Amino acid sequence: MKRFTLYLLMAFTVVLMCACLNDTTTNEESNEESDKESKEKSVSNVPVKIPDDLFVSNKENENISEAEMKASLKKYMDYSHVIDKEMENIVYLYEDATESDQEKLHKLIAEGKKNDANFNDFISNNSIPDDYKEPSKTIYEFVSSIRATLTQFDEEIVGAVENGSLTEITDFASEHFTKANGRQQLKIEKFLDEKKIKTTYFDE
């Protein structure tokens, strides 16, 4: 359960990161050069490491064996875990966020979206074992919904923060966490245990 709690904190910390960046840009222009110098030092300590193991499959209209399905789920979830950990390394510096930090975060989010899209195509365009159909969909929805909270913050959450609208933030959270919550995580972990699929996704 700790992994999901961390995701919640990460998503809303992104909100604070963006709000802090806007506030710094608007209200501290007189100290721009000195602030930039100090913040760029923090950026240099957060190298973006894009892993090479993106989930990719060119298969279409094929019968997928259980062994391949297990390997595919593991690869998809493990890659998502690595990407998210890299995001966390940046998000934790929200108090000293710069535009460069945001660019790095967006690059990681883009890679995560590719991973999500590729996996969704794989399970949608092929015949997978019956007992993997619903769980695979649940896993995809869980992971991609977490991703959505990050990819849409620019237009929805940041605007809500600037307008002081807690209702908008609540609605946004409700929309995406319907498919990504503690109950769904328990279902996923139970399925993974039953199928003996080892993944780092829910590691602390």
What pLDDT digit, counting tens, does each position of 88-142 carry?
Answer: 777 666 556 677 777 787 788 889 989 999 999 999 999 999 999 999 999 999 9
Amino acid at 8: L
Tell me the pTM.
0.73
Q: Which helix (H) or strand (E) holds 64?
A: none
Three-state SS for 173?
helix
CB 89 within 8 A of CB 24: no
Torsions phi, psi for 12 (to 5 deg): -80, -20
Taken in order 166, 171, 176, 180, the sign of the CA dihedral is positive
pLDDT per residue as tens digits for the range 7-29: 555 555 555 555 555 555 455 44
List, in order, residues 6 or more apart from 58 with CB less than 8 Å away: none
The CA distance from 113 to 84, in Å, is 11
Residue among 21, 192, 172, 175 at smallest CA distance from 91:
21
